[in-house]
Amino acid sequence: MSNQTHCEQSRKMANVMLAYSEGKEIEYLDSASNQWAVTTHPSWDWSRYNYRVKPRIYHPKDLPAGKLARIVSWDNNICHIGKIVIRVGYTLIQPGKDPSYWWADFLSIKNINNLQCQLIEGPIELTNLEC
C-alpha cells in the first residue's frame, strides 16, 4: 500500500471517529448480510469491519440542488430504487449514459410522498448509468 493510500485511509478513519465523538450515528458493514447496520458502541476494529457515518436521508424537496442522489425507498415503487437523480427546481431528473440526454420530466416532486434519497459521496461515472 502506498503512503498516499495509507494517509487517505487514516484520514477517512479519523473523520468517522470524529463524527462519532460529535454524536453522529455510525454504521458498520455486516459481512454476513453485506448490509450497513447502526452501531451504538463501535469497536473500531478496522481490520474486520468498515465503518461510515450513517448517510442522511432526504425527501426530494430537501435535496440540495445539483447534487447527485440515489433513491433508497419509495412505497411500492421498487423499480425506482437505486436510480440516480439530480434535483433541478421542482423536478428530479435522471442522467443517462449520454450526458447530453437527460430525462427532463422524470419526477415532479410537488406531489411525491414517501420517496427517500441519499446523497452520493464522491465521483460517479455517468457512463455506467442505465437509461
Q: Which of 92, 17, 54 has its CA nearest to residue 9?
A: 17
Domain assignments of the chain as residue spans, ordered by start: 3-53, 57-128
Q: Is 12 helix (H, G, I), strand (E, B) or coil?
A: helix
pLDDT tens for the chain, 131 residues long, are 677 788 888 999 999 999 999 999 999 998 888 888 999 999 999 988 999 999 888 887 788 877 888 888 777 667 777 777 877 777 777 766 554 554 444 566 666 677 788 888 765 555 444 43
Cα(90)–Cα(93) distance, integer angstroms: 10
pTM tops 0.75, yes or no: no
Q: Side chain identity at 111, as an amino acid letter? A: N
pLDDT digits (tens, 9 = 90+) for 16-44: 999 999 999 999 998 888 888 999 999 99
Q: What are the backbone angles phi and psi of residue 96, rounded to the nearest 5°?
A: -105, -175
